[in-house]
Amino acid sequence: MMDWFQSNPMTLVGLVLWAVGILWLMPAKHGGKPRSRILGLVLTAAGLVSFCLACGNPHSELANEVMFWVFGIGALLCGVLMITARNPVYAALWFALTTLATCGLFLLQSAPFLAAATIIVYAGAVIVTFLFVIMLAQQSGAAGYDQRSGQSVLATVAAFVFLGAIAMTLQTEKLDIEVRAVPVVAAVAEPAPAVGGMPGMPGIAVDLPIGAPATPPEPGNLLSVADADHPVGNLKGLGRSLFGDYLFAVELAGTLLLVACIGAIAIAPRREQGGL
Amino acid sequence: MPELLITLLTIGVVVGAIPGVCNYLILLERKLSAWMQDRIGPNRVGPMGLFQPLADGVKLLLKEDVIPPHVDKVLYVMAPALSVFTALMAFAVVPFGPVNDDTVPSFIRFIIAPNIDIGILFVFAIGSLGVYGIVLGGWASNNKYSALGALRASAQVVSYEIPLGMSVLGLALMSGTLNLESLMQQQVAGGFMNWNIWFQPLAALMFFTASLAEANRLPFDLAECEQELIGGWHTEYSALKWALFFLGEYTHMITISFLTSILFLGGWHLPFIAEATSAYPGLWLVKLLILSGKAFSFICLMIMLRWTIPRFRFDQLMELAWKVMIPLSLANLVMVMFCMHFEFSRWWLFVGSLALFAAWGTISANLREAELSARPGYVKRKKVAVADHDHGHAHGAHH
């Protein structure tokens, strides 16, 4: 502890200044003399600035770690609160927060598009629609049927089968992922200095050794392999992957949504107006 | 100067400036409205009423802050904060001056978060969260009028998000990026004839319209709708909480105007005055003024639209989104794809946009006529009357 302070005097000074400033800005005791706001503001600002200067790089490993835990625990906590909330409106809001925390995790994994798309679709549209329905259906508080679980057996079975499937996938695929990850990193790291002129662009290999012994060829994911023109991870790479490697799945999902849409339109009107 | 400090400085300036600017925008709105209605407008406080915003601000700060006993307290307090928070967050990726420019002093940066790859998508994502402020405010107020306003707002925002996003897709396809800075850079590099409005006029119109609906401005302010719903979702709010809702709305207006200028009107580019090749001292200030001027003119346009187009009925609002703007933006997207794939000149997009607009107008007008003729007591309008005061069937789409 003392060592850290000695090696980072600026951090300590900044923290102390900041703390004194905040203390100064607190409302005075009853009957006490009011303090000068300006002095407090100056102290706080000076402390904040020197603290930021001392901390330096915001991209540090520590910040990454902290954010991971904040988002991860946040998602879990909000999920639990969503399930246990008595009021459906609050449950929907906790669901929104869970989605936002998950999007934070996506951002940490350098998947900004996924994060933005999830926010737009789930937090921005789906949960707003939930709120819409809840507000329409229950203007006089929570209904009795919200306090009971209707299909408890089915729900439990479905949830745990799904959980089992995820666990199985993670356990069987674990080795595979490790084998895959190592050679790609090596392949990216090695040729980059040899080419030269691209020190600021790690992660983009100019000539990827396709068919090298350590990288098993992946016939299903040919388009997802990074090269100079198509780095994986940005919008272009994602688009190539979605509409190249996973075209079939994307089209299938699209067709499913179309069918659901047609079904909804067929069911929506009242019977005398030509509904089902 | 370290990156972090510059970012903090920019955030400080933006967060400090926006409430002040919003205050004066309210004065501008009142003055312009007065001008349009042949009134004088606020003129008591200071010369020409210039200190009216300050007086209003002080009044809002000092007013009694009433929390009615029948509300859901947590959400009631949270809603206005949320609406300001989301509006300010969306501004983080919007460049409000020249960016990536060497002539700008190194400690000034006109964007809070530079080089965001998903740029415009981030604005949409955060903007789509903005409706929570309205919905929660309306629900927490525990009042029938507020709940109706909140219901309308949620349906409206969810519907208009689709054309809002889809109208920009064609642009993204053409430019190959969603990054606002590079979108601006590309237009600047190409000069006046490369402004995106030439190739995507229809998309520009739809983007502007849909974002008006997202911001709940008239003619789309059905969530507020004084004549029917008293004040809609903010009926139960008073003092600073009420002011925060309006701070959010005006911040939204500012963001929209900057976005429209950047996406479609070439950002800080202006022929002969600020080109990519021009160089003279103080250029960056001129660029800043040009971009702000474009945004300002859009804000004036929004204010004047308020007194020009009457408010939609709710079914008309939904029809405009689902039957007009979504198909049109899809057609626009297909047109861009077609043009790019066969490598036609981009000017065909201009022609195509106009043709699409005309075709959709004709179809909508004919459909409307057919629907009306099925009603009992229908009398077909005479040709003379049509020629006299029905300018352009294209507007039939809106009725």
In which domain, by residue range, is B273 found?
70-344
SS3 A144: helix
Give the whole-number percent of chain B exceeding pLDDT 70.
95
User: Best mutation site among A135, A230, A243, A257 for testing chain B: the one with the most B CBs within 10 Å?
Assistant: A135
Residue A276: pLDDT band with limits 50, 70, 90: low
CA A66 to chain centre: 14
Q: Measured at the alpha carbon of residue B348, what is the angle toward residues B342 and B351, in degrees to the nearest 5? A: 150
Cα A87 from Cα A69, distance rounded (Å): 28
Give chain B positions within 8 Å (CB) of A53.
Answer: 2, 4-5
pLDDT at A133: 82
Q: Find the DSSP H helices in A56-87.
A: 61-84
Residue A190 has pLDDT above 60, yes or no: no
Find the mean pLDDT for residues A69-95. Answer: 88
Cα B99 from Cα B281, distance rounded (Å): 17
Pick from B3, B118, B150: CB nearest A113 = B118
Residue A195: pLDDT band with limits 50, 70, 90: very low
Cα B353 from Cα B197, distance rounded (Å): 11
pLDDT at B142: 82
Give the whole-number percent of chain A exceeding pLDDT 90.
13
Residue A251 has pLDDT above 90, yes or no: yes
Q: Are residues B52 and B320 in contact, defined by beta-carbon separation less than 8 angstroms?
A: no
Cα A100 from Cα A110, distance rounded (Å): 15
Residue B32 lies in a domain: no
pLDDT at A193: 39
Find the mean pLDDT for residues A95-102. Answer: 92
Q: Residue B187 corresponds to which tokens in the numbers above? A: 């237009």
- By C-alpha distance, which of B88, B81, B141, B91 is closest to B116? B91
pLDDT at B218: 76
Residue B368 lies in a domain: no
Indicate yes or no: CB of B118 within 8 angstroms of CB of A93. no
Residue A154 has pLDDT above 70, yes or no: yes
Residue A49 lies in a domain: yes
Q: What is the DSSP letter of A222?
A: G
Pick from B2, B121, B138: CB nearest A113 = B121
Amino acid present at B200: Q
Cα A73 from Cα A70, distance rounded (Å): 6
Residue A79 lies in a domain: no
pLDDT (tens digit per residue) in B99-112 = 877 777 777 788 88
pLDDT (tens digit per residue) in A131-143 = 888 877 765 555 6
Find the mean pLDDT for residues B163-191. Answer: 85
Pick from B4, B129, B154: CB nearest A123 = B129
Q: Residue B152 corresponds to which tokens in the numbers above? A: 């309308």
Residue B319: pLDDT band with limits 50, 70, 90: confident
Range scoring the smallest mean pLDDT among A62-71, A171-180, A184-193, B242-251: A184-193
Range scoring the smallest mean pLDDT among A33-37, A148-152, B40-44, B157-161: A33-37
Higher pLDDT, A258 or B155: A258
Pick from B75, B125, B158: CB nearest A119 = B125
**Mean pLDDT score of chain B:** 83
Residue A173 has pLDDT above 70, yes or no: no
Q: Are residues B200 and B171 in contact, defined by beta-carbon separation less than 8 angstroms?
A: yes
Indicate yes or no: CB of A120 within 8 angstroms of CB of B121. yes
The reply to whether A269 touches chain B by the CB within 8 Å rule is: no
Indicate yes or no: CB of B158 within 8 angstroms of CB of A139. no
Find the mean pLDDT for residues A252-276. Answer: 83
Q: Are residues B117 and A234 in contact, defined by beta-carbon separation less than 8 angstroms?
A: yes
Residue A35 lies in a domain: yes
Collect all residues with Cβ–Cβ distance below 8 Å to B222 and sequence separation of at least 6. B149, B152, B153, B156, B232, B311, B312, B314, B317
The tally of domains found in chain A comes to 2
Find the mean pLDDT for residues A1-11. Answer: 69
Q: Which residues pair with B270 in a beta bridge?
A: B274
pLDDT at A57: 64
Give chain B positions within 8 Å (CB) of A116.
Answer: 118, 121-122, 124-125
Residue A275 lies in a domain: no
Residue B143: pLDDT band with limits 50, 70, 90: confident
Sign of CA dihedral B220, B223, B226, B228: positive
The tally of domains found in chain B comes to 1
Residue A39 lies in a domain: yes
Residue A92 lies in a domain: no
In which domain, by residue range, is A215 found?
170-221
The reply to whether B1 touches chain A by the CB within 8 Å rule is: no
Residue A58: pLDDT band with limits 50, 70, 90: low
Residue B280 lies in a domain: yes
| C-beta neighbour count of B19 within 10 angstroms | 16
At which residue do the structure tokens 């991971």 appear?
A: A68
Indicate yes or no: CB of B131 within 8 angstroms of CB of A124. yes
Q: What is the DSSP letter of B100?
A: S
pLDDT (tens digit per residue) in B261-290 = 988 888 888 888 777 777 777 788 888 888
Residue B278 lies in a domain: yes
Residue B206 lies in a domain: yes
pLDDT (tens digit per residue) in A201-248 = 344 333 444 444 455 445 455 555 556 665 555 677 777 778 888 889
Q: In chain B, whose CA is at the least distance from the CA of A99?
A: B129
Cα B32 from Cα A95, distance rounded (Å): 43
Range scoring the smallest mean pLDDT among B60-74, B129-143, B348-362, B369-383: B369-383
Indicate yes or no: CB of A120 within 8 angstroms of CB of B154. no
Give B302-328 as a DSSP string: HHHHHTTSPPPPHHHHHHIIIIIIHHH
Residue A182 has pLDDT above 50, yes or no: no
Q: How far is CA B173 from CA A3, A47, B80, B334, in A?
A: 55, 47, 36, 11
The helix (H) or strand (E) run that includes residue B18 is helix B3-36
pLDDT (tens digit per residue) in B32-42 = 899 988 898 88
Higher pLDDT, B21 or B108: B21
Q: How far is CA B314 from CA A129, A138, A263, B128, in A?
A: 17, 22, 25, 20
Give chain B positions within 8 Å (CB) of A234.
Answer: 117
Residue B88 lies in a domain: yes
Q: Are residues B117 and B313 in contact, defined by beta-carbon separation less than 8 angstroms?
A: no
Give the whole-number percent of chain B exceeding pLDDT 90.
7
Asked if the bond preceding B219 is cis, omega within 30° of 0, the reply is yes
Give A91-134 as a DSSP string: HHHHHHHHHHHHHHHHHHTT-HHHHHHHIIIIIIIIHHHHHHHH
SS3 A8: coil
**Mean pLDDT score of chain A:** 73
pLDDT at A179: 42
The reply to whether A107 touches chain B by the CB within 8 Å rule is: no
Q: Are residues A201 and A76 in contact, defined by beta-carbon separation less than 8 angstroms?
A: no
Q: How far is CA B165 from CA A112, A266, B133, B326, in A?
A: 17, 27, 21, 10
User: Best mutation site among B5, B82, B121, B182 for testing chain A: the one with the most A CBs within 10 Å?
Assistant: B121
Q: Are residues B81 and B102 in contact, defined by beta-carbon separation less than 8 angstroms?
A: no
pLDDT at B1: 57
Amino acid present at A39: L
The reply to whether B274 touches chain A by the CB within 8 Å rule is: no
The reply to whether A115 touches chain B by the CB within 8 Å rule is: yes
Residue B351 has pLDDT above 50, yes or no: yes
Indicate yes or no: CB of A96 within 8 angstroms of CB of B132. yes
pLDDT at B92: 86
Residue A214 lies in a domain: yes
Helices (H) and strands (E) in chain A, counts: 11, 0
Q: Are residues A51 and A11 in contact, defined by beta-carbon separation less than 8 angstroms?
A: yes
pLDDT at B93: 86
Cα B14 from Cα B183, distance rounded (Å): 22
Residues in chain A: 276
- Rg, C-alpha atoms of chain B: 22
The reply to whether B214 touches chain A by the CB within 8 Å rule is: no
At which residue do the structure tokens 């988002």 appear?
A: A71
Instruction: Kindly report each contact of residues A227-231 with a partner whose C-beta sits within 8 Å and lies 24 or more positions away, as own/partner.
Output: A228/A204, A231/A203, A231/A204
